[in-house]
Structure 1
Amino acid sequence: MFTTCIHCTADLGRNEAFEPFPVGSRLAFDGRRGRLWVVCRNCARWNLSPLDERWEAIEAMERRFRDSRLRVSTDNVGLARLREGVDIIRIGEPQRPEMAAWRYGDQFGRRRKRQLLITGAVVGSATAIIGGVMALGASAGSFAGVYANGGLWETLIHGRQNKSIGKVRLPDGALVDVQRRHARMSALEHAGPDAPLQLRFEHVGGTSLLTGDDAMRIAARLMPTVNRFGGSSAKVQGAVQLLEDSGSPMGVLLQAQQRSGRRQGDEVWGARGKRSQIRKLPGTLHSLPIEQRLAIEMAVHEESERRAMEGELQLLEQAWREAEEIAKIADDMFTPAAIESRLEELRRSSR
């Protein structure tokens, strides 16, 4: 049974409410379509379960939802809190805007609030520092110049661009590290009206041109970083409207691909994450309008789930296995050899 978030590789936790499905403490289910998700407490994204036991678990969740007194619901979506501390979301037949409010509004809203708090703290700290420097006799203009010339202000607000956001497996099996700047500078490529989805993927090892399912899989990993500032309710609804107007998730991706032409003023980041020069580049993910970026993140998740369900869940099984493998690699990177040795001794002694 898989226990790692597909999107951020965090531990999904466990519950004691559902014996057939003990993973996660916030669960969503759609009994009519036979879908079951684990909502990650760390990143708030939904992990579609590929497990064969999902039907038994869904039936148990339906019973517990109906029996629960701590619940709120509309005609199509309901939320219940069980006595074991587990939240269950019951999906009926919502229209896309209502479903988006439940599924995406929470995660985009949480990101936005978190970044607003970080920005407020940074601005407050910077103001205090400037005030202290001025008290020592330095001018605000000279201090602000240090911020501007060194890129310190942008680093404080937007975060370190060379910070790793995780590892991604390429189609050839290679595992590459991805930094924030790589997510920002990757781009959807326009290769003609009948061409498959194409993504110019930047990573520590260089640049890879991905197509089709590989492009969608990697885009799903990149978009949360590109959209790290989330979006307001109005922006989320604007993104939902783009999905509606496009007719399908793939329509959103193809439209974004077609609109990605050459732009003036795109940023180019050096090997150490510093801005080096400005030149013409194909339209990058971070340069797209907010509504379109949010719509792309929604679209890659919905399209990948649709393909996984139609393909007997093989793609989803592969995604879960890869997430757990990468999570283990990340854990091993930070576990000292002496501790690993001691853990192995404890495992053997407990058998």
Structure 2
Amino acid sequence: MYARCLVCNTTFERNEELEFFPHGRRVAYDPNRGRLWTVCRACRRWSLAPIEERWEALDELEKAVRDRGRVLSSTDNVALIRVGHLEVVRVGPANRAEEAWWRYGNELVRQRQSYRKLALVGTLTTGAVIAGGWVTGGISWLGAWMLWEHLPDGVTRFGRWLRFGGTAWRGERACAKCGYVFRRLEFSERRRVILAAAQDEGAAVEVRAPCPVCGTWHEGGLALRGEAGEATARRLLAYQHFAGASERRVRSAARLIE
């Protein structure tokens, strides 16, 4: 059973409501598809519980919702329910757009607002530095222009680094073709990464990157599957979408996956 978020590695708080699923103060479940998630309070991402740990917890959760649940908010197919000190998202036969909005939409909109605040801080800081340097005579037109071009982005990059660090994955994997050993995958390498549907049964996605020695990725390179692949894919996508999105863009993207 996961005790930490698969995306940001934050430790889940314990709850006293569920005997078979004690990690997390907010959980989500889909009784029709047999899925159970812990929702991270820090990054608000959903971490899917391993399949062998779901069934007793799903039965317990459904009974708790039915007997003690109080509906806080709902749409046609998704409901937010409070059970004691536990918040529960119950997913019914929702279409993909509705489920995607509940899982990602609100968080992406919040991230967009936070990113704008961070960008504003960067702009104001840059303006203050330039103004101070200009008044004291310690900065030229060229220096002011360079600061204005680069310092605001530097503030947002620093905020992203504080949240995610610089590494998407650490471990040891050997290239199947030349034997080169991968020990980390940096976020700065994400443009060379390929996310593909996993071929192995029970896995959803695999992460592949070309080998820096032999240059191949199809017959060699880095291949992360299973839990490592899913966790790395989540971190890469969260890092890439650090700036969030507007509500209009989120709803447009949700319609595309239907």
TM-score above 0.5, yes or no: yes
Instruction: Place the TM-score, normalised by the shorter chain, in its bin.
Output: 0.7 to 0.9
Aligned residue identity for 1:105: G
Partner in structure 2 of residue 180 of structure 1: 187
Aligned-partner Cα distance in 2 for 1:155–1:20: 45
Aligned-partner Cα distance in 2 for 1:154–1:238: 27
Identity percentage over the alignment?
30
Deviates more, 1:231-240 or 1:50-59: 50-59
Change (3 A) 1:10 1:80: same
Change (3 A) 1:231 1:140: farther
Specify every segment of 5 or more residues in structure 1 that has no aligned partner in the other structure, as ranges.
191-195, 245-351
Aligned-partner Cα distance in 2 for 1:60–1:198: 35
Partner in structure 2 of residue 340 of structure 1: none
TM-score (normalizing by structure 2): 0.75
Aligned residue identity for 1:223: L
| Cα distance per residue 1:79-115 (max 9 Å; x no partner) | 012332x210001110111101101113322322221
The 3-state SS of whatever aligns with 1:159 is: helix
TM-score (normalizing by structure 1): 0.57
Specify every segment of 5 or more residues in structure 2 that has no aligned partner in the other structure, as ranges.
176-180, 197-204
Aligned residue identity for 1:181: S
Partner in structure 1 of residue 169 of structure 2: 167
Kindly indicate whether the alpha-carbon contact (under 8 Å) linking 1:164 and 1:177 is maintained by their aligned counterparts in 2.
Answer: no
Aligned residue identity for 2:235: R
Among candidates 186, 203, 209, match of residue 200 of structure 1: 209
The 3-state SS of whatever aligns with 1:230 is: coil
Q: CA RMSD in A?
A: 3.5
Partner in structure 2 of residue 240 of structure 1: 254
Partner in structure 1 of residue 73 of structure 2: 72
Q: Give the Å deviation of 1:165.
A: 3.3
Partner in structure 1 of residue 241 of structure 2: 227
Aligned-partner Cα distance in 2 for 1:24–1:201: 37
Aligned residue identity for 2:83: L
Kindly indicate whether the alpha-carbon contact (under 8 Å) linking 2:29 and 2:35 is maintained by their aligned counterparts in 1.
Answer: yes
Partner in structure 2 of residue 131 of structure 1: 131
Kindly indicate whether the alpha-carbon contact (under 8 Å) linking 2:168 and 2:236 is maintained by their aligned counterparts in 1.
Answer: no
Aligned residue identity for 2:15: N
The 3-state SS of whatever aligns with 2:169 is: strand
